[in-house]
C-alpha cells in the first residue's frame, strides 16, 4: 500500500504580521496603539519594523505576540483564526463627528446610521452594511484615542468582554468605553482615560451598543 505524504503548510511572514494587524483592528486600535497597550515600544508592530535595512524579513517575537494577546484578552486560538481570515476589502462608510453622535436624527432606534449630515470615508470593511465611522474630537479618550482619530463602528459585530464599544443612552448621551461586564440588568463600562471614572448603566437605559472594529491612529 502506498502511503500519501502530506506537505506541511508553513506560516509565512506576511500571515503572522497580518494576524497582528487584525488583532489590533479587532480591538479597535492601530498596530502602534496595540503595542502601547501591550506595554511595548509603540513602534514594535509598525510596518517599518517588519523588514530590516538590508531587506531581510523581521518576525515578531513570541514575547511580543504573547503580550499583544494578553492586552486584548485574546487566545492563541483566536490568533490562529486571524491568520486564516480572508483579505479585508475597503469600502466607503458614513462618517460623522463624534460630538454630533449625541444629537438627534443621526441614528435610528437600532443604532444604524440614518438621516442627513453624514460624510463618507473609505476604510477597511468590517463586512457590516450598517458600519459607520466617527471622528474623535478633543483628548478626553486619551491615551486610547486622540483628537482626529477615526474609529469604525460595526453594529452587526458580536460584542465580548474587553471590547471597545460605543454606547448611547436613552437620554442621548454617547460614550466610548471598554466593556467590563454585561448582564440582563446592567452594563459595566471601563473608561479609556484614567482621569474619568468607570460607568455602570441599567440595561433599560441603554438605547444601543456597538463594537469598535478599527481605528486610524
> Is there a single domain that holds both residue 120 and residue 189?
yes
Averaged pLDDT for residues 159-165: 91
Q: Please indicate, yes or no, if residue 5 is contained in any of the structural domains.
A: no
Q: What is the pLDDT of residues 142-153, one digit of tens each?
A: 888 889 989 999
* CA–CA dist 104, 161 (Å, integer): 29
What per-residue confidence (pLDDT) applies to 126?
67
Q: How far apart are CA 155 and CA 129, in angstroms?
A: 9
- With b meaning 16 or more CB within 10 Å and e meaning fewer, what string describes 107-138? beeebbbeeeeeeeeebbbbebebbbbbbbee
Residue 17 sits in the same domain as residue 58: yes
Backbone angles phi, psi at 137, to 5 degrees: -120, 135
- Give pLDDT tens digits for 89-144: 567 889 999 999 988 889 998 999 998 889 998 876 667 889 999 999 998 898 88
Residue 201's domain comprises 90-216
- The number of folded domains in the chain is 2
120 in Cβ contact with 94 (< 8 Å)? yes
77 with 117, same domain: the answer is no
Higher local confidence (pLDDT), 81 or 158: 158
State yes or no: pLDDT of 44 exceeds 90: yes
Rounded-to-integer distance, Cα 21 and Cα 23, Å:
5
Domain's final residue, options 46, 69, 84: 84
Amino acid at each position: 500500500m502506498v502511503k500519501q505524504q502530506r506537505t506541511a503548510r508553513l506560516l509565512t511572514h506576511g500571515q503572522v504580521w497580518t494576524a497582528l494587524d487584525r488583532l489590533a483592528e479587532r480591538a479597535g486600535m492601530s498596530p502602534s496603539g496595540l503595542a502601547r497597550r501591550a506595554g511595548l515600544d509603540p513602534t514594535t508592530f509598525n510596518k517599518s519594523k517588519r523588514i530590516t535595512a538590508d531587506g531581510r524579513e523581521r518576525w515578531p517575537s513570541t514575547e511580543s505576540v504573547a503580550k499583544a494577546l494578553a492586552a486584548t484578552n485574546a487566545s492563541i486560538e483566536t490568533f490562529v483564526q486571524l491568520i486564516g481570515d480572508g483579505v479585508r476589502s475597503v469600502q466607503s462608510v458614513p462618517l460623522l463627528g463624534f460630538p454630533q453622535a449625541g444629537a438627534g436624527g443621526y441614528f435610528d432606534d437600532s443604532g444604524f446610521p440614518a438621516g442627513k449630515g453624514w460624510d463618507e470615508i473609505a476604510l477597511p470593511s468590517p463586512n457590516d452594511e450598517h458600519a459607520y465611522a466617527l471622528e474623535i474630537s478633543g483628548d478626553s479618550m486619551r491615551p486610547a484615542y486622540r483628537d482626529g482619530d477615526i474609529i469604525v463602528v460595526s453594529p452587526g459585530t458580536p460584542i465580548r468582554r474587553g471590547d471597545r464599544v460605543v454606547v448611547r443612552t436613552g437620554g442621548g448621551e454617547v460614550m466610548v468605553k471598554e466593556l467590563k461586564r454585561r448582564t440582563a440588568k446592567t452594563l459595566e463600562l471601563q473608561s479609556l482615560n484614567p482621569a474619568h471614572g468607570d460607568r455602570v448603566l441599567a440595561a433599560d437605559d441603554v438605547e444601543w451598543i456597538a463594537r469598535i472594529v478599527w481605528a486610524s491612529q
